[in-house]
């Protein structure tokens, strides 16, 4: 193993409390390493870190405590934790997870994204946006109209079909569905970040 920055891969998972960050981290890892729960209050309170081997390299997954809209305390904590994660793994991708309610984008996620992106501007090539928990029978036009809406609502970021990913709500006891979700997640084409993309493809393969 070398100490080159290029080999220090990471995935930093961000988003409001309860959108499924820990759940998705586990899907990527292929094991239940992060605690995830149906809960009325936030579950992950300190950054959790899991590492997996990828050939001669490793991929670190940073599961950051959830944001609560624009709550300053959480923004400050997230900023610090994102900084630490990038220091440990300079070649990291940030994955911001949105929830939704009946397909509607939630104001709280838009507010949280704009607040954290203003406090810690993400480089476009290292940012991936995910909408989680969607019904599988959503209308065909849902994804296109949501993309246009997010382009209008999110400030200081380019939203496009390469960095936006729509994920199905799955039955978490169904191994095949979990595998399919992992595949779906990894189908995101990471704009301008061939290196990062190839890492995730390695993770998938």
Ligand X SMILES: Nc1nc2c(ncn2[C@@H]2O[C@H](COP(=O)(O)OP(=O)(O)OP(=O)(O)O)[C@@H](O)[C@H]2O)c(=O)[nH]1
Q: Of 4, 5, 6, 37, which lies in the binding site for ligand X, with binding defined by CB under 6 A?
A: 37
Contact range with ligand X by CB under 6 A, out of 30-38, 117-125, 150-158, 189-197: 30-38
For ligand X, the closer of residues 21 and 89 by Cβ is: 21
Of 43 and 186, CB closest to ligand X? 43
Return the exposure string of 24-42: e unless at least 16 CB atoms fall within 10 Å of the residue's CB, then b. Answer: bbbbbbeeebbebeeeeee
The pair of three-digit structure tokens given for residue 204, joined into one six-digit string: 């998938």
Contact between 32 and ligand X (CB under 6 A)?
Answer: no
With a CB cutoff of 8 Å and minimum separation 6, the contacts of 146 are: 103, 105, 131, 166
Residue whose CB is less far from ligand X, 130 or 154:
130
> Considering only residues 78, 100, 132, 146, which one is a binding residue for ligand X as defined by CB under 6 A?
132
Minimal CA–CA distance to 90: which of 98, 80, 82?
82
Q: By C-beta, is 131 or 191 nearer to ligand X?
A: 131
- DSSP assignment of 57-121 equals EEEEEEEPPPB-TT-HHHHHHHHHHHHHHHHH-SEEEEEEEE-EETTEEPHHHHHHHHHHHHHSP
119 binds Mg ion (CB under 5 A): no
Determine contact, residues 33/111, Cβ cutoff 8 Å.
Answer: no
Nearer to ligand X, 17 or 191 (CB): 17
Q: Which does 17 bind (CB under 5 to 8 A by kind): ligand X, Mg ion, none?
A: ligand X
Instruction: For residue 22, state whether it binds Mg ion (rule: CB under 5 A).
Output: yes
Q: Which residues form the interface with ligand X (CB under 6 A)?
A: 15, 17-23, 36-38, 42-44, 65-66, 132-133, 169-170, 172
Q: Which residues form the interface with Mg ion (CB under 5 A)?
A: 22, 43-44
């Amino acid at each position: 193993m070398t100490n080159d920055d290029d080999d220090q891969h990471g995935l930093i998972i961000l988003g409001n409390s309860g959108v499924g960050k820990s759940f998705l981290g586990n899907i990527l890892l292929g094991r239940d390493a992060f605690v995830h729960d149906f809960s009325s209050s936030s579950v992950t309170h300190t950054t959790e870190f899991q590492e997996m081997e990828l050939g001669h390299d490793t991929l670190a997954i940073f599961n950051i405590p959830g944001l609560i809209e624009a709550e300053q305390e959480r923004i400050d904590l997230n900023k610090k934790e994102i900084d630490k994660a990038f220091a440990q793994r300079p070649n990291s991708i940030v994955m911001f997870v949105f929830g939704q309610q009946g397909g509607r984008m939630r104001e709280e996620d838009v507010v949280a994204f704009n607040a954290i992106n203003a406090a810690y501007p993400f480089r476009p090539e290292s940012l991936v946006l995910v909408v989680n928990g969607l019904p599988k029978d959503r209308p065909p036009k849902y994804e296109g109209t949501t993309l246009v809406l997010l382009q209008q609502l999110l400030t200081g970021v380019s939203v496009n079909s390469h960095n936006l990913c729509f994920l199905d709500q799955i039955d978490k006891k169904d191994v095949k569905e979990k595998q399919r979700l992992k595949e779906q997640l990894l189908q995101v084409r990471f704009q301008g970040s061939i290196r990062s993309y190839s890492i995730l493809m390695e993770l998938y393969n």
